Structure 1
Amino acid sequence: MTARHDDIPAIALDWIRAGKGAALATVVETWGSAPRPVGSQLAISSEGEIAGSVSGGCVEGAVVVEALEAVDGGGSRILDFGVSDDEAFAVGLACGGRIRVLVEPIRTGDLDPDLLSELVQTRAARRQVAYEVDTESWQRRLRHPPDHSERFRLDRSGFEEGETRFVAIHNPPLRMMVVGGVHIAQPLIRMAELTGFDPLLIDPRESFASQTRFPSVSLGHDWPDEALGAEGLDARCCVVTLTHDPKLDDPAIEAALRSDVFYLGCLGSNRTHAKRLARLAERGFAKADLDRIHAPVGLDIGSRSPAEIAISIMAEIVQSLRQG
């Protein structure tokens, strides 16, 4: 599974392979009310096609013009928007924010297509990679863990302190594995997609996990542990079990506990969870393993409806991702 909205480098590479010119624009610094974080990217083709964004739409037009000029023979450049309040308003940063955007045409001498291809292949293999560019010498390279380990952990791109070297962090796309095609899963999966997760719904009961109930969602009808094993679980994955049925939930929970998933949440009351913990302990899981389970699932915000419960689950997942 690959979330296309998170695959901007691959889209740019596709344009190059199709014989078009292309450039990548990357947010490298922000101040104030800038709407998109550092590391956000916009791809621009020589035919005026765009993918991604570097703002809420307020500076895209100006970036596209500069990118087309760069593709047409200019070199890499850094653009400043919002240096003064008047300039900020002119490009749509009405609250006085400021952003700097790096524009790189994809060609030998700038962002080399071979280097971009290596970056895309590494991302597709779900391996962490950092793209470094020195904005004075315009030297570029890829780095892997343990280099920039803190940046990878925080998912934080930016300039190295006191240097002209910008580091763009490319962590594997976030994935959510939902076990159980129940009512709560419907709003939860929609929220996950909006939050940037690539969701997979797993339920061997095809009447529950159907395209009618979950249109345009990736579905898995194998037994949960088999489905999770086939997909592969890593530190950029979260797992949520919702069936209330130990025959379905427990195999998924065991697979998640044997992996590096950053979040495991399980639906059920305190009483249900106590029985669950007893079963897992009998299966040999230690207390430290069991303490990883978020149950009853979701933040305690008084949720009642399926959509409200989904909100509480999504909030807890984001809290675990961003705060550890």
Structure 2
Amino acid sequence: MSAILSALREAIEQEIPVVQATLVQGEPLGAKMLVYEDGRTVGSLGDPDLDAQVIRDAQDVLPRGEATTRSYTRASGETVDVYLESFLPPRRLIVVGAVHIAIPLVAMAKELGYYTIVIDAREFFATRERFPHADELIVAWPDEALQKLPLGPQTDIVILSHDEKFEDPALAVALRSRAGYIGAVGSRKTSEARKERLRRAGFTDDELARIHGPIGLDIGAKTPAEIAISILAEIIAVRSGRDPRAQGLQPAKATA
């Protein structure tokens, strides 16, 4: 048991997503197992077949941060119940491009509980004076900075750079990651040109479909604050399983 508690504590401290599975009906009652995103485990519920079933379900509930009790049937025919509890790291918003829109976007994201990171190669723009609410300011080429960050399902990436020499390499890193949301600023024409460049770089249409661009919902946003609201509204919708594109709703007409 101490090994389970130690591993869980380490996962929480290092912001590693993990599910704790506890046998709440059946024997050995109270047995625990930790399941990581990649299928690694610590501990056992006392039955290899049961462990395998629980691992599959744990990887299903983990991205949604669920806590649920599920029933399983052992090879012997006995039914047991297992409580699955997800431990997810804090939601993170990574903003590439320390532009005007990024300022209210970061401030509002903090109100939603996000850990916020702003990346820009231009030291003049990525300053604490402009971004007092940012948890981290990284002055570096965006793609290089992104490669050093964990980009899992709890991370949302917003590209606001307006410059293909910054955004294309950054999007290439984002598309190879497991980020939960990827959005990029620009008009429909700009978005299509961007996708064509990435297509030539070897990305498939299915991969490019992960990019939300034009970014944000079409709420008639004009000011930086309004555009920030439209972006966060789209992220919330996607995170809630209500991707506006899947429901036939229109993205923002342009935020360039």
Q: TM-score, normalised by structure 2?
A: 0.74
Partner of 1:235: 153
Partner of 1:199: 116
Provide the aligned length of Structure 1 versus Structure 2.
213
Partner of 1:149: 59
Question: Cα distance, 1:150 vs. partner?
Answer: 2.7
Question: Cα distance, 1:113 vs. partner?
Answer: 6.5
Looking at structure 2, the residues matched to 250 and 186 of structure 1 have their Cα atoms a distance apart, in angstroms, of: 22
Partner of 1:277: 195
Partner of 1:52: none
Cα separation, partners in 2 of 1:198 and 1:163, compared to 1, 3 Å: farther
For 2:67, the aligned partner's letter is: S
Partner of 2:253: none
For 2:217, the aligned partner's letter is: L
Match runs of 1:11-26 below 5 Å: none
Partner of 1:254: 172
Aligned residue among 175, 189, 212 for 2:129: 212
Partner of 1:139: 30
Residue ranges of structure 2 left out of the alignment (5+ in a row): 40-54, 72-78, 244-256
Answer whether contact 1:131 1:140 (CA < 8 A) is retained: no
Partner of 2:5: 116
Looking at structure 2, the residues matched to 214 and 153 of structure 1 have their Cα atoms a distance apart, in angstroms, of: 29
Work out whether 1:159 is the aligned partner of 2:69: yes
Partner of 2:206: 288
CA deviation map 1:72-124 (0-9, x unaligned): xxxxxxxxxxxxxxxxxxxxxxxxxxxxxxxxxxxxxxxx7664332121234
Q: Which protein, 1 or 2, shows the higher relative CO under an 8 Å CA cutoff with sep ≥ 6?
A: 2
Looking at structure 2, the residues matched to 185 and 138 of structure 1 have their Cα atoms a distance apart, in angstroms, of: 51
Aligned residue among 81, 90, 93 for 1:176: 93
1:253 alignment partner, SS class = helix
1:182 alignment partner, SS class = coil
1:243 alignment partner, SS class = coil
Work out whether 1:223 is the aligned partner of 2:112: no
2:218 alignment partner, SS class = coil
Looking at structure 2, the residues matched to 132 and 187 of structure 1 have their Cα atoms a distance apart, in angstroms, of: 40
Question: Cα distance, 1:134 vs. partner?
Answer: 5.5
Looking at structure 2, the residues matched to 226 and 267 of structure 1 have their Cα atoms a distance apart, in angstroms, of: 20
CA deviation map 1:154-197 (0-9, x unaligned): 32113336977533211233221100111111121122222232
Partner of 2:224: 306
Looking at structure 2, the residues matched to 209 and 140 of structure 1 have their Cα atoms a distance apart, in angstroms, of: 49
For 2:12, the aligned partner's letter is: R
Answer whether contact 2:183 2:212 (CA < 8 A) is retained: yes
Looking at structure 2, the residues matched to 115 and 282 of structure 1 have their Cα atoms a distance apart, in angstroms, of: 47
Looking at structure 1, the residues matched to 229 and 29 of structure 2 have their Cα atoms a distance apart, in angstroms, of: 44
Work out whether 1:190 is the aligned partner of 2:100: no
Partner of 2:16: 127
CA deviation map 1:243-297 (0-9, x unaligned): 2111111111111111121211011111211221222122222222222111110
Higher Cα radius of gyration: 1
Q: TM-score, normalised by structure 1?
A: 0.60
Answer whether contact 1:202 1:222 (CA < 8 A) is retained: yes
Question: Cα distance, 1:212 vs. partner?
Answer: 0.6
For 1:182, the aligned partner's letter is: V
1:319 alignment partner, SS class = helix
For 2:6, the aligned partner's letter is: S
2:232 alignment partner, SS class = helix
Looking at structure 2, the residues matched to 298 and 150 of structure 1 have their Cα atoms a distance apart, in angstroms, of: 28
Partner of 2:246: none
After superposition, the CA RMSD in angstroms is 2.4
Residue ranges of structure 1 left out of the alignment (5+ in a row): 1-111
